[in-house]
Structure 1
Amino acid sequence: MTSTQRLPATFWLYLIGMAAAALGDAILSIALPYVTLGLPQSAGATSIASVVLAGTLPRFLGPLLGSIADRTPPHRIFLMTSLTRALCVLVCGLLLFQGLLPLSGLMALAFLNGTLATLAYAAGSAFVPRLLSAAQLPQANSLSSGAMMGLPLVGYGLGGTLLHLLGDAGTLLIAVPLFLIFTGISLSLTRLPAAQGKQANLWRDLQTGWSVLRHSKLLLSLLSLSFTLNLAMNIMNVRSPLHMRDFGRGSADYAVFEMLISGGVLLGILMVTPLAKKFSLDTLIGVGRWVLALGMSGFLWSPVPMWWGAAAIFGIGLGLLEVAAVTRSQQVVPAEVRGRVLGALMAFNALGLTLGALVAGWPVKTSTLMGSLTLLLAFLAVLWPFAIRSAQTSSTEATEA
Structure 2
Amino acid sequence: MPARQATFREVFAVREFRPLFGTFLLSTAGDELARVALTVLVYQRTDSPLLSALTFAIGHLPWLLGGPVLSALADRLPRHRVLISTDAARAALLAVMAIPGTPLPVLLGLLFLVSLCAPPFESARSALMADVLEDDRYAVATSLTNITLQLAQVVGFLAAGAIVAVLNPSAALLIDAATFAVSALWLSAGLKRRPAPLHDGHDRRPSLWRDTVAGLQLIGRSPRLLAIIGVLWVATLFAYASEGVAAPLVEELGRGSTASIGILLAANPLGVTIGGLVIARLVAPERRERLVVPLVVLSLAPILAAGVVAVLTAPGTLPFAAVVALLFVSGLGASWLIPLNVSFVQAVPSAFRGRAFGVAVSGLYGVQAVGALGAGLGAEGVSASAVLAVSGGLGLLAVAPALLAYRRTQGSVAAPSAGEGPSRA
Q: By how many angstroms is 1:337 displaced?
A: 1.0
Map 1:202-281 → 2, pairs under 5 A: 202-228=208-234, 231=237, 240=246, 250=258, 259-277=266-284, 280-281=287-288
From 81, 86, 89, the equivalent of 2:86 is: 81
Partner of 1:388: 406
The whole-number CA distance in structure 1 between the counterparts of 2:37 and 2:374 is: 22
From 31, 54, 57, the equivalent of 1:53 is: 57
Q: By how many angstroms is 1:263 displaced?
A: 3.0
Partner of 1:325: 340
Question: CA offsets per residue over residues 286-330 of structure 1, 9 Å max, x none?
Answer: 233223324545478598965755654443333x12321111101
Q: By how many angstroms is 1:22 displaced?
A: 1.6
Partner of 1:190: 192
Partner of 1:18: 24
For the 8 Å contact 1:49–1:357, the answer to whether it is kept is: no
Partner of 1:316: 332
Q: By how many angstroms is 1:261 displaced?
A: 4.1
Q: By how many angstroms is 1:257 displaced?
A: 5.7
Change (3 A) 1:385 1:226: closer
Partner of 1:150: 151
Question: CA offsets per residue over residues 201-250 of structure 1, 9 Å max, x none?
Answer: 23432332223322333322332233346646887667658988996555
- Greater shift, 177-186 or 224-233, is seen at 224-233
> Does residue 1:293 correspond to 2:311, yes or no?
no
From 279, 284, 288, the equivalent of 2:291 is: 284
| Counterpart amino acid of residue 192 in structure 1 | R
The whole-number CA distance in structure 1 between the counterparts of 2:162 and 2:235 is: 28
The whole-number CA distance in structure 1 between the counterparts of 2:35 and 2:81 is: 26
Among all aligned residue pairs of Structure 1 and Structure 2, give the percentage whose two residues are the same amino acid.
21
For the 8 Å contact 1:159–1:255, the answer to whether it is kept is: no
Change (3 A) 1:236 1:109: farther
Partner of 2:421: none
| Counterpart amino acid of residue 85 in structure 1 | R
The whole-number CA distance in structure 2 between the counterparts of 1:259 and 1:161 is: 19
User: Any idea what SS the aligned residue of 1:280 has?
Assistant: helix
| Counterpart amino acid of residue 333 in structure 1 | V
Q: By how many angstroms is 1:111 displaced?
A: 3.0
- Greater shift, 334-343 or 256-265, is seen at 256-265
| Counterpart amino acid of residue 153 in structure 1 | V
Q: By how many angstroms is 1:255 displaced?
A: 5.9
Q: By how many angstroms is 1:40 displaced?
A: 2.0
Q: By how many angstroms is 1:17 displaced?
A: 1.2
| Counterpart amino acid of residue 376 in structure 1 | L
The whole-number CA distance in structure 2 between the counterparts of 1:394 and 1:11 is: 28
Partner of 2:70: 65
Partner of 1:376: 394
The whole-number CA distance in structure 2 between the counterparts of 1:180 and 1:311 is: 37
| Counterpart amino acid of residue 194 in structure 1 | A
| Counterpart amino acid of residue 24 in structure 2 | M
Q: What TM-score do you get using the length of structure 1 for normalisation?
A: 0.79
User: Any idea what SS the aligned residue of 2:16 has?
Assistant: helix
The whole-number CA distance in structure 2 between the counterparts of 1:20 and 1:91 is: 20
The whole-number CA distance in structure 1 between the counterparts of 2:326 and 2:170 is: 31
Which structure would you say has the larger Rg?
2
For the 8 Å contact 2:234–2:399, the answer to whether it is kept is: no
The whole-number CA distance in structure 2 between the counterparts of 1:335 and 1:257 is: 40
User: Any idea what SS the aligned residue of 1:83 has?
Assistant: helix
User: Any idea what SS the aligned residue of 1:194 has?
Assistant: coil
Map 1:98-177 → 2, pairs under 5 A: 98=101, 102=104, 104=105, 107-108=108-109, 110-166=111-167, 168-177=169-178
Change (3 A) 1:295 1:50: farther
Change (3 A) 1:344 1:299: same
For the 8 Å contact 1:48–1:238, the answer to whether it is kept is: no
Partner of 1:339: 354
Change (3 A) 1:340 1:162: same
